[in-house]
Structure 1
Amino acid sequence: MSDPTLARDIDACCRLTGEFTLRSGQTSHEYFDKYLFESDPALLARVADAMVDLVPEGTELLGGLEMGGIPIATTLAARVGLPALFVRKRAKEYGTCKLAEGPSVEGRRITLVEDVVTTGGAVRDATNALREAGAVVETVVCAIDRSPAGENPLADVRLEVRPVLTRADLASARA
């Protein structure tokens, strides 16, 4: 069961009202700015603390996805004593040309760390790329799962989603 106080505090911090243009091009009078909880040290610490028990046994690396998963993965890594890995959206085209910055991923069991999962597009891409590099990726822990209740948007890539909070948790925080 999730922490209703954490849901309330994240919702209060991140839910903005005004006039916003969404990625789809539509306009909205409400916007959820996830970076506000990630940039707040106290809220970020509470999210990482709530994730500790979600990290599967046998995890060797925590793979924070660019950009929102990186601060969470770094904070979580400090709590569980595992190395963090920073996973880019695309491999850089210079220097080491790496997709994932940090220790080698080949043969390693990686748990991905993301801020918000809705459709899972970025997580799916990272999972496929890391698996191609020889990593074992079976789980993503996320701060917020905004996918429809009871659906796993990453079932097609056999990835378990372990959220701290769900869309329903945030909705009930406003009730």
Structure 2
Amino acid sequence: MLSKEEVLNIFTEAKALLTGHFRLTSGRHSNRYMQCAQVLKFPEYAQKLCADLAAKFQGQKIDIVVGPAMGGIIVSYEVARALGVPSIFCEREQGQMKLRRGFTIEPGANVLVVEDVVTTGGSVKEVMNVIRELGGNIVGVGVLVDRSNGAVDFGVPLHAELTMDIQSWEADDCPLCKEGIPVVKPGSREVK
């Protein structure tokens, strides 16, 4: 198992922890942003972090790993590789999270849901709904970074490589906006 210091070193070396004024996918604002794509662009980091994440689910029967596009695709692939099971992903079609490309989940299949970063857990919850509608059994959620500091509850075991308390504010209450600091929207999804 990787220590918190080892995980932080990987994120630091990859220049993945950004500071500034950011608009998150949830619509909230923050002075820090975790850009996991900067870590996942290095195959050796992706493999190391995801193998460690997979080890946290050791002993559980997992049939398939599912992540949301975009951030969860590489995480799903690498965790599934470490577990020796298939990897698929959900993606948006007309704003709705779905399985596409011929991907399926057999009723009763034990599914591990993974993601790069969670703040409110919205994308993960959408993926979980898709899996449940298809009769899948969700055994847990694995993430590289839990920005909620453990506050988000998926109703199943949650394991994170890194748990951080990164402050965020509603846009109306953002002190950075009040200071007139321009806001940036990183990431792949539009703001809610």
- TM bucket normalised to smaller: 0.7 to 0.9
> What whole-Å deviation, never above 9, does each CA across 1:6-64 have from its counterpart, x for those lacking one?
212213420235x6552448585x54322111111121111112112122511111112
Q: Is the 8 Å Cα contact of residues 105 and 134 (structure 2) preserved in structure 1?
A: no
Give the number of aligned pairs: 160
Contact in 2 for aligned 1:89/1:126 (Cα 8 Å): no
Residue identity opposite 2:72 in structure 1 = G
Return the alpha-carbon distance in structure 1 between the equivalents of residues 79 and 34 of structure 2: 23
CA distance in 1, matches of 2:28, 2:142: 29
Look up the match of 2:109.
Answer: 108
* Aligned: 1:88 with 2:82: no
When the two structures are superposed, what TM-score results if normalisation uses the length of structure 2? Answer: 0.70
TM-aligned CA distance change 1:164 to 1:100, over 3 Å? farther
CA shift in 2, pair 1:26/1:68, >3 Å: closer
With normalisation by structure 1, the TM-score equals 0.76
Q: In structure 2, give the amino acid aligned to 1:159.
A: V
Partner of 1:22: 23
Task: Give the Å deviation of 1:103.
Answer: 4.2
Alignment-derived partner of residue 46 in structure 1:
48
Deviates more, 1:5-14 or 1:105-114: 5-14
Question: What CA distance in whole angstroms lies between the structure 2 residues aligned with 1:87 and 1:112?
Answer: 10
* Corresponding letter in the other structure for 1:99: L
Letter in 2 for 1:58: K
Question: What amino acid is aligned across from residue 122 of structure 2 in structure 1?
Answer: G
- Asked if the contact 1:115/1:142 (under 8 Å) is kept, the reply is yes
Q: How does 1:1-175 map to 2 (within 5 A)?
A: 3=3, 4-12=5-13, 13-17=15-19, 21-23=22-24, 24=27, 28=31, 30-55=32-57, 57-90=60-93, 99=99, 101=101, 102-149=103-150, 151=151, 153-155=152-154, 158-167=155-164
Identity %: 23
Aligned-partner Cα distance in 2 for 1:35–1:44: 10
For residues 7 and 116 of structure 1, the distance between their equivalents in structure 2, rounded to whole angstroms, comes to 14
In 2: Cα distance, 1:127 partner to 1:50 partner: 22
Q: Which amino acid aligns with 2:66?
A: G
- Which residue of structure 2 aligns with residue 173 of structure 1? none
Matched-pair contact (CA < 8 Å) for 1:61–1:108: yes
- Structure 2: gaps of 5 or more residues: 167-192
Change (3 A) 1:91 1:104: farther
- Residue aligned with 2:8, SS: helix
Amino acid at match of 2:77: T
Q: 1:65–1:123: 8 Å Cα contact kept in structure 2?
A: yes
Which gives a bigger RCO, structure 1 or 2 (Cα 8 Å, sep 6+)? 2
Secondary structure class of the residue paired with 1:125: helix
